[in-house]
Amino acid sequence: MQGRRIVLGVSGGVAAYKSAELVRLLVKAGAQVDVVLTAGGARFVTAVTFQALSGRPVWTDLWDARANNNMAHIDLTRGADAVLIAPASADLMARLANGQCDDLLTTLCLARDCPLLVAPAMNRQMWQHPATQRNIGLLITDGAEILGPASGEQACGEVGEGRMLEPEDLFEALLDCFAPKLLVGKRVVLTAGPTQEAVDPVRVLTNLSSGKMGYALAKALHRAGAEVTMVSGPVSLAVPRGVNCVQIKSAREMYEAVMQHIGHAQIFVAVAAVADFRPEQAAEHKIKKADGTPEIQLVPNPDILSDVASLPNAPFCVGFAAESRDLESYAQKKRASKRIPLIVGNLVQNALGADDNQVILFDDAGAHALEHGSKELVAQGIVEHLAKLLA
C-alpha cells in the first residue's frame, strides 16, 4: 500500500464512522487518501474528522475552486490507484448505475481511469429490493467490484444482509485489487492447521501448529487470483476473504475432504501439521485416573500428500517440512520420497506459533532461501516462486 493513491468516497449512512477507521489504516500503511464526502455523508461524519485522519483537504463540492480549472472531478482521479466508495448508499448506487452526475463523487466516478470498488451499506430490505439488485448488476457489468455487504445486526435494529464490511476487510480488498494476478484461473486445494486425534470424548493427540502459515498462504494464493479451497484443522483464526474453508478435526477427515475437492485442482499445497499416528480405538467414555495408566495403541494415519502426488493427473504438489535439525537433509529426503516438485522447509524453533517465519524452498534447481519476515510476506514469496515454476 506504500505510495498508493486512494480516492475514498463517503456517502450517507451510519456506517460512515467505519470509514474514518479505514482512512487511519490506509494512511498508517503509507497510502495517500483523498476523501470525497457527499452531503449525506457529512450528516454522519464531518469533513474535519477525515481531514485530521488523512492529513489532506476533504472534497465536498463539484464546483470547488481549489482544483485546477475548477475540475476536481478530473484532477482527483488522475494518477489515483483506485476509487473506493464506503459506505455506498442505495441512492448513490442507483445514480452510479444510471450514469447520473449530480455531485462531485458521482461525476468523478464517470471521469475516472482507475478501478472502482463499492462497499454497500443499507437496511436489509433496501438491499434485497429488486431495484437495488438490478443496479448492482449494472455496476458489475460496467466493471465495478462490489465488496460485501456483510450480514448481521443493523443500526435500525433489524438483522440481515446489508452491513458494510469492516475497515480491515476493505483494506484487504484494496490489497487484493493491487496484487499481481500470477495464478489467475488456477484452482488450489490447501491444508492448514493441526489435526486432533481422539483418545476419549475429551482428550486428543495434537501438535502446536497455529495454522498461521497455512492461512497466510491461502490469503496470498487468493490474492494472486487463484480459486482456493482450504481444508483446516482446529485453529483460532479468521478465514481469509474469498477463501472457501472446510473445517475438520482428524487426519482421516482431512484426507476425505482433500480427496473430495482435489479432482479439479491444478495445485495442492500441504501446509497442515497432520498427525502421523492416531489411537487405534478411541475410548467410548472419559478415561478415569482411578482405572490406572491407559495403554494406547497407535496406528498410522493416511499420508495425504503422498496419495495426492500419486493420483493419475496429479496436481502440482507443494509440501512443507518442519524440522528441528538438519533441515536441508530431511526436506530433500521428504521431497524425494513423496515425489513432489517443491517443498518448503523451516526450523520449528524459528516459526511454530510465531507471527514470522524463515523458510528455504527446495526444488529441482536446488535451494532458495527467502528473507525472514512476517508469515504474510513469506507466503507472498512462496506464491511468487510457485508461479515461476508453473510458468
In the predicted structure, residue 26 carries a pLDDT above the cut 80? yes
Q: Which residues are 83's β-sheet partners?
A: 7, 116
The C-alpha torsion from 205 through 374 and 347 to 241, rounded to 10°, is 40
Which tens digits make up the pLDDT trace of 130-180? 999 999 999 999 999 999 898 888 888 888 889 999 999 999 999 988 988
Which tens digits make up the pLDDT trace of 212-271? 999 999 999 999 999 999 999 999 999 998 899 999 999 999 999 999 999 999 999 999
- H-assigned helices in 99-225: 104-110, 124-128, 130-141, 167-178, 212-223
**Residue that wins the pLDDT comparison between 119 and 352:** 119
Distance CA 372, CA 183 (A): 24
Residue limits of CATH 3.40.50.10300 in the chain: 187-390
Q: Is the Cα dihedral 198, 204, 205, 207 positive or negative?
A: positive
pLDDT, average across residues 95-106 = 92
Q: Is the Cα dihedral 147, 163, 100, 68 positive or negative?
A: negative
At residue 108 the predicted structure's pLDDT band, cuts being 50, 70 and 90, is very high
Distance CA 155, CA 358 (A): 45
- H-assigned helices in 114-211: 124-128, 130-141, 167-178
Are 26 and 6 within 8 A, CB to CB?
A: yes
Tabulate helix, strand, coil % of the chain (nearest 5).
Answer: 35, 25, 40
Are 121 and 154 within 8 A, CB to CB?
A: no
| Structural element, H or E, at residue 268 | strand 267-270
Residue limits of CATH 3.40.50.1950 in the chain: 5-178
CA distances from 222 to 27, 75, 180, 378 (A): 24, 33, 11, 15
Write out the DSSP string of 23-81. Answer: HHHHHHTT-EEEEEE-TTGGGTS-HHHHHHHHSS--B--TT-TTSGGG-HHHHTTTT-S
Residues of the chain with pLDDT > 90, as a percent, come to: 76
Q: Side chain identity at 71, as an amino acid letter?
A: M
C-alpha distance across the termini of the chain, in Å:
27
Residues of the chain with pLDDT > 70, as a percent, come to: 99
Which tens digits make up the pLDDT trace of 374-387? 999 999 999 999 99
Instruction: Mark whether 156 is an active-site residue.
Output: yes
Q: 5-178: which CATH number, 3.40.50.720, 3.40.640.10, 3.40.50.1950, 3.40.50.880?
A: 3.40.50.1950
Catalytic hit among 156, 177, 245, 317: 156
CB atoms within 10 A of CB 259: 15
**Mean confidence (pLDDT) of the chain:** 92
| Structural element, H or E, at residue 386 | helix 375-390
pLDDT, average across residues 35-64 = 94
pLDDT, average across residues 28-43 = 95
Fold held by 187-390: Rossmann fold (3.40.50)
In the predicted structure, residue 342 carries a pLDDT above the cut 90? yes
Which tens digits make up the pLDDT trace of 189-210? 999 999 999 999 999 999 989 9
At residue 188 the predicted structure's pLDDT band, cuts being 50, 70 and 90, is very high
CA distances from 144 to 130, 139, 275, 300 (A): 19, 5, 45, 51
At residue 350 the predicted structure's pLDDT band, cuts being 50, 70 and 90, is low
Distance CA 33, CA 11 (A): 16
Q: Which of 45, 37, 15 is nearest to 162 (CA)?
A: 15
The cell for 231 is 481444508
The cell for 297 is 495403541
Q: Which of 89, 85, 84 is nearest to 13 (CA)?
A: 89
Q: Side chain identity at 251, as an amino acid letter?
A: A
Place of cell 472502482: 116
The cell for 99 is 450514469
